[in-house]
Chain A
Amino acid sequence: MLKKFLKCVREYKKPTYLTLIFITTEVVIEAIIPFITARLVNGIQSGIEMSTILKTGAILFVMALSSLACGGIAGMTSANAAAGFAKNVRHDVFEKIQKFSFYNIDKFSTSSLVTRLTTDITNVQTAYMMLIRIAVRAPLMLIFSIVMAYIMGGALAGTFVFVIPFLVFGLLIIAKYAMPAFRRVFKKYDKLNESIEENVRAMRVVKGFAREDFEKKKFNAAAEDIRNDFTRAERIVALNNPIMQFCIYFNMIFVMAVGSYIIIGHKSGINVGELSSMLTYGFQILIQLMMLSMIYVMLTMSAEAMKRIVEVLDEEPTVTDPENPIAEVKDGSVTFKNVSFKYSHRAKEYALCNIDFDIPSGATVGILGGTGSGKTALVSLIPRLYDVEEGEVLVGGENVKNYKKHDLREAVAMVLQKNLLFSGTIAENLRWGNENATDEELAAACKMACADEFINSFPDGYNTYIEQGGTNVSGGQKQRLCIARALLKRPKILILDDSTSAVDTKTDAKIRESFKKYIPDTTKIVIAQRVSSVMESDIIIILDGGAVVGMGKHDELLKTNEIYKEMYTQQTNGGEQDA
């Protein structure tokens, strides 16, 4: 897992190494400062010359300044390295998602992908910075301080033999109990927030049923539950403060007691200056241990975030390009040869079963069927949004797997059922279909999709800004813009997946007419709820439960197919008109 992340460091190796070098230097200097100070103090006590004092002072001053410089530079380089590292991870994750097939996309929810791109990566960034700053600094400082303590204090350093294992043991125990407790709490916490979100979203229902007090009671119970768990977890962690203090105090007393014994009770033991430095070192050592334990907790916490990011990076895109692709899609013919399909290999039920049909280039095809009958699955196989389980799908006489995805999808335009526009002007949105389209081409496509009228009625026309998700245009307008966008691709095959459901019947008919008139050579495949939308098609395919149960022209089907007949009579006689 770590290896995957280290790959993302790339051009930020340099600041990373610089950070390590500067921090090491800083640590060395910082470790020596008390050593030299001790000599200064002793010198003063034993009455050395003025010039020596000044000289030592100057050295110390320079050392502090260099330590400051190193620390400052390391602060900057580490910030750069970590932010850059995060940038690269973010880039890689986003890039990977762009390579995803529909199958991969279905596996992750939108919000979870967004969290991975933002919060999770921010956590990893913090962890990385901690790692290169403190994870280097703390152990180095620890080692230096222990070594120096032994050099200076000799027997006095014996205090650490007791204190360090005690502290390490204490902190480990705390971490061991606290971490799972926190993990549990955070999970509950997420759940609590989810339920708040649910409540906010459903406020009309809550108020409509006058359930405010019921909701409050429910929430209070959940909040109390979390509070108990949270308190337990926090109390475990709170123990590290007294443990730490105990070690510091123990160190103080030990150094004072044993120190004075050594000084007075022996001839050439340590001296007063060294005694003072021992206290400094002791303090430093304990602080470093504390830091290490903090990093340990931080890293394990960010391990969850790392795991989630790696999940994306490790996901294998399922639809891949062939090695020797065929350059061009010849025409708009579509053939299904005994095709079976399911959305996931592990799924028990097939979404499509043994589908066989031939659509000649330029034909108009209507597809009807209830929810879950496999209409969308069927058309998704044509631009190879998914791969078939069995059989083969041919476009322009070639298996879709023999084309490059890019080339195939350039030739097959699909207006998705769950379609959307992006924030930007109408013109920008339309140019998704063709970057280089001229204004005239945009207008022509919009005319075909019956979108020109309403666009021209906007004060800003084609420069009207579409809000995120296209919330400032109506459903019917959005659908027509999406159709125009697809038309701009000048596709050989045009697929409309229930794309005129919010458009009135008259406009719907007008769009169909203009297709006939302006793009006669394009194969048009239309999924619809309304029989009237597909009645005049060259071929109508009726799907039920993932199988083709009827295929033919309107008149034939009316005679032979029960489902078609039922839909037709229900929608025409019953006056089933959409407003």
Chain B
Amino acid sequence: MPKTPPKKDIRKLDMGSLGRVIKLLFKYYPVMMPVVIVCIVLSAAVSSIPAIFQQRIIALITKHLGSAEYLAGDYAAAWNNAKGEIFKVIIILGALYIISIILITLYTQLMAYITQGYLSKLRIEMFGGMQNLPIKYFDQNKHGDIMSYYTNDIDTLRQLISQSLPHLVQSFIIVMTVFFIMIYYSVWMTLLILLGVVFMFYVSKKMGGGSAKFFIRQQASIAKTEGFAQEMMNGQKVIKVFCHEDKVQEEFDKVNNELYEDSRRAHAYANGLGPIIINIGNVLYVLAALIGGLLIVLKAPNLSLSGMAFNISILVPFLNMTKQFTGNINQVSQQLNSIIMALAGSKRIFELIDQKPEEDSGKVTLVNAIIDEDGNITESKTHTGKWAWKHPHGDGTLTYTELKGDVQMVDVDFSYVEGKQVLYDVSVYANPGQKVAFVGATGAGKTTITNLINRFYDIEDGKIRYDGININKIKKADLRRSLGLVLQETNLFTGTVMENIRYGNLDATDEECIEAARMVGAHGFISHLPDGYNTMLSNNGSNFSQGQRQLLSIARAAVANPPVMIMDEATSSIDTRTESIVQRGMDKLMEGRTVFVIAHRLSTVMNSDVIMVLEKGRIIERGNHEQLIEKKGTYYQLYTGAFELE
């Protein structure tokens, strides 16, 4: 039987993430947080002491009701006598209240500031950490799941920090103070109320557990409905074409009904909790009044810290304290769901933050270089149009190697998941300026090869050398800067056309960007846009056609001006007429560079210097177009249409 870890450990872990939330809170705000806590504690204490003043006032009233003046019917005189004492009490109370309001204003304002600051810092830390994660992480996790860290999970913390935590501290303090005041007046009555409170806790635990269970089920139901709706909304046109509307509606109603059931149960529990606690409070209130009354009537001996006898001046504040007590417990119980959700949310957030970042032990960097006639290389601070690899050695010396774009892969093995090898003994030699093409079915390993060259993934066995340098020694950012990338999926960013082109080289001037666009043939359509280069792209450039988007991404690569280009299925989602335009842009871009091309359409790769046919992770044929046709192998079959790539 497999050993399952004891449940206790899991729960501990959850509480751990809550602890970490709080620890971070103090780390980010080492001064403000203690101030807030002092404010909360003081104001909570102040708001729980009116019971004492009430008792004083009522005692004073009772005393003066027995005064000679009052009994004689001279009420004005009675009041005049009482006035001084009573106002003294009230003025002290008023002063305390003013302090309390100042404290409350201070800490609520501070908390608003802290909450948002905290979330912002956390968001920045999450995002920053995420930028440093390896591509593997993004390949393995659904984008929707990653997004939910930033939306759902962060939102649970907002509720926790701005509401639940202050409430918890406040309620705890109030309950403690009230408890001591109660003992001060009467132990017996306190015991009675404690009994009620224990009962309340019991009920909230039971009900809270039930509600948590159904809330989780409701969450799952919502996800299911969302998934179903997502699929159907996507296929709405197919549904119409097949007249399947009624059928789909039927299925939707089924899912919808499940959601209704779970949602009804979850809320029934949650709604019930409030009234139940409040009414247990009411019963307690009545019991307190009753038993207190009996104690007074029966003149039972009182046990208390103050040693006072039990009388009406104690009973009245006691009743109010009962309300206060139960009211606070109700408040805490209302925060339960939000605390449970925050526990889950913070756990996930820390999972993201704790992800291991991409490792980079590369020391070789890319620098601007001046190369003299003899081939001597010196480093330059300014842009020279020439680049060199700067190679620091263990003995402190520096050597420079010119950046040429020579890429050699020797006997490379690779697997994404251990035990499932995807590349076997792959060797590729690309001399500067050569065009190397990869052809093969989906899953044959074409994209994998390019993933290895720019070190999105690291090889298992074999060697990859770039201009003779092992790529593991090159700083990743510099390695990637020297490799241009055009992918099938054109990912553009919100911003202007100009900003999107400049993404390739942040130092490029407007003129350089326009020149790049002109070179790849994008200038024509851009200048026809209403705002030209200042036209805004939104939503991944959905206001542009696929071909236009691809041209922009080619221009982006062009402005980077790298010696090596990787083109991964850059034209496969474009129709053949548009392709010829894009192809011209790509041809321009490829001139004089080392290029790796992956393509579905053979027309794109035919003029390559070397074509590699890949099958199941192995190179099965290599040569140029003519050689491969002559061979009459797989490539030939592909070319004649006798064979299909999937």
Kindly state whether residue A571 has any CB partner on chain B within 8 Å.
yes
Across the interface, A280 reaches (CB within 8 A) one of B138, B237, B320, B639, namely: B320
Knowing A207-B456, A579-B439 are in contact, say whether A383-B241 is a contact too (CB < 8 A). yes
Query: Which B residues are CB-close (under 8 A) to A82?
Result: 267
**Nearest opposing residue in chain A for B131, CB measure:** A212
Query: Which B residues are CB-close (under 8 A) to A57?
Result: 286-287, 289-290, 293
A209 to chain B, nearest CB (A): 6
Kindly state whether residue A64 has any CB partner on chain B within 8 Å.
yes
Kindly state whether residue B78 has any CB partner on chain A within 8 Å.
yes
Kindly state whether residue A416 has any CB partner on chain B within 8 Å.
yes
Query: Which B residues are CB-close (under 8 A) to A37?
Result: 285-286, 289, 319
From residue 159 to 208 of chain A, which have CB atoms closer than 8 A to chain B? 193-208
Across the interface, B79 reaches (CB within 8 A) one of A100, A264, A371, A385, namely: A264
From residue 49 to 99 of chain A, which have CB atoms closer than 8 A to chain B? 50, 53-54, 57, 60-61, 63-65, 67-68, 70-72, 74-76, 78-80, 82-84, 86-87, 90-91, 94-95, 97-99
Query: Which A residues are CB-close (under 8 A) to B268?
Result: 75-76, 79-80
Knowing A219-B127, A238-B108, A575-B639 are in contact, say whether A64-B576 is a contact too (CB < 8 A). no
From residue 274 to 294 of chain A, which have CB atoms closer than 8 A to chain B? 275-276, 279-280, 283
A98 touches B234 (CB 8 A): no
Knowing A60-B286, A110-B234 are in contact, say whether A227-B116 is a contact too (CB < 8 A). yes
**Nearest opposing residue in chain B for A385, CB measure:** B240
Query: Which A residues are CB-close (under 8 A) to B539?
Result: 194
Interface of A is mostly: helix
Knowing A41-B312, A420-B238 are in contact, say whether A197-B147 is a contact too (CB < 8 A). yes
Looking at the complex, which of B1-9, B252-260, B515-523 is the stretch in contact with chain A? Answer: B252-260
B241 touches A416 (CB 8 A): yes
Query: Which B residues are CB-close (under 8 A) to A144?
Result: none
A41 touches B272 (CB 8 A): no
Query: Which A residues are CB-close (under 8 A) to B483?
Result: 208
From residue 120 to 155 of chain B, which have CB atoms closer than 8 A to chain A? 120, 123-124, 127-128, 130-132, 135, 138, 143, 146-147, 150-151
B312 touches A272 (CB 8 A): yes
Residues 45-77 of chain B, each 1 if its beta carbon lies under 8 Å from chain A, else 0: 001001001100110111011000010010110
- Complex CA distance for A383 and B243, rounded to whole angstroms: 11
B109 touches A238 (CB 8 A): yes
A210 touches B476 (CB 8 A): yes
A520 to chain B, nearest CB (A): 23
A245 touches B47 (CB 8 A): yes
- Complex CA distance for A226 and B64, rounded to whole angstroms: 60
B549 to chain A, nearest CB (A): 12
A246 touches B101 (CB 8 A): yes
**Nearest opposing residue in chain B for A571, CB measure:** B576
Kindly state whether residue B305 has any CB partner on chain A within 8 Å.
no
Residues 236-268 of chain A, each 1 if its beta carbon lies under 8 Å from chain B, else 0: 011101100110010011001100110111110
B271 touches A117 (CB 8 A): no
A54, A70, A234, A260: residue with the most chain B Cβ atoms closer than 10 Å: A260
Knowing A102-B237, A276-B319 are in contact, say whether A193-B642 is a contact too (CB < 8 A). no
Residues 304-347 of chain B, each 1 if its beta carbon lies under 8 Å from chain A, else 0: 00000000100110011001000000000000000000000000
Kindly state whether residue A220 has any CB partner on chain B within 8 Å.
yes
Looking at the complex, which of A299-307, A338-346, A502-510 is the stretch in contact with chain B? Answer: A502-510
Kindly state whether residue A40 has any CB partner on chain B within 8 Å.
yes
B60 touches A371 (CB 8 A): no
Looking at the complex, which of A2-10, A147-155, A322-330, A469-477 is the stretch in contact with chain B? Answer: A469-477
- Complex CA distance for A216 and B645, rounded to whole angstroms: 40
Kindly state whether residue B578 has any CB partner on chain A within 8 Å.
yes
A265 touches B231 (CB 8 A): no
B276 to chain A, nearest CB (A): 6
Query: Which B residues are CB-close (under 8 A) to A60?
Result: 286, 289-290
- Complex CA distance for A219 and B188, rounded to whole angstroms: 60
A50, A63, A257, A433: residue with the most chain B Cβ atoms closer than 10 Å: A257
Query: Which A residues are CB-close (under 8 A) to B28?
Result: none
Kindly state whether residue A560 has any CB partner on chain B within 8 Å.
no
Knowing A242-B105, A253-B97, A280-B323 are in contact, say whether A371-B545 is a contact too (CB < 8 A). yes
Query: Which A residues are CB-close (under 8 A) to B86?
Result: 256-257, 260
From residue 513 to 559 of chain B, which have CB atoms closer than 8 A to chain A? 539-540, 545, 547, 553, 556
B238 touches A72 (CB 8 A): no
- Complex CA distance for A118 and B481, rounded to whole angstroms: 43
Kindly state whether residue B230 has any CB partner on chain A within 8 Å.
yes
Kindly state whether residue B424 has any CB partner on chain A within 8 Å.
no
A118 touches B225 (CB 8 A): yes
A250 to chain B, nearest CB (A): 8
- Complex CA distance for A75 and B207, rounded to whole angstroms: 13
Knowing A83-B264, A87-B259 are in contact, say whether A204-B603 is a contact too (CB < 8 A). no
Query: Which B residues are CB-close (under 8 A) to A71?
Result: 272, 274-276, 278-279
B51 to chain A, nearest CB (A): 10
**Nearest opposing residue in chain A for B320, CB measure:** A279
A219, A238, A273, A576: residue with the most chain B Cβ atoms closer than 10 Å: A238
| A and B contact pairs by CB, cutoff 8 A, 29 listed | A41-B293, A67-B275, A76-B271, A86-B263, A90-B225, A90-B259, A94-B252, A94-B256, A100-B240, A117-B226, A118-B226, A196-B127, A200-B143, A201-B540, A204-B456, A223-B120, A238-B112, A249-B101, A422-B231, A469-B234, A474-B646, A489-B242, A506-B641, A529-B576, A575-B602, A577-B602, A578-B601, A578-B641, A579-B602
Q: A68-B280, A385-B240 are in contact. List 10 more A-B contacts (CB 8 A).
A: A41-B315, A65-B283, A98-B239, A204-B135, A207-B456, A220-B128, A256-B53, A264-B61, A272-B62, A579-B599
> Which 9 pairs from chain A and chain B are nearest by CB?
A71-B275, A75-B271, A202-B491, A504-B644, A68-B279, A79-B267, A265-B79, A474-B646, A227-B120
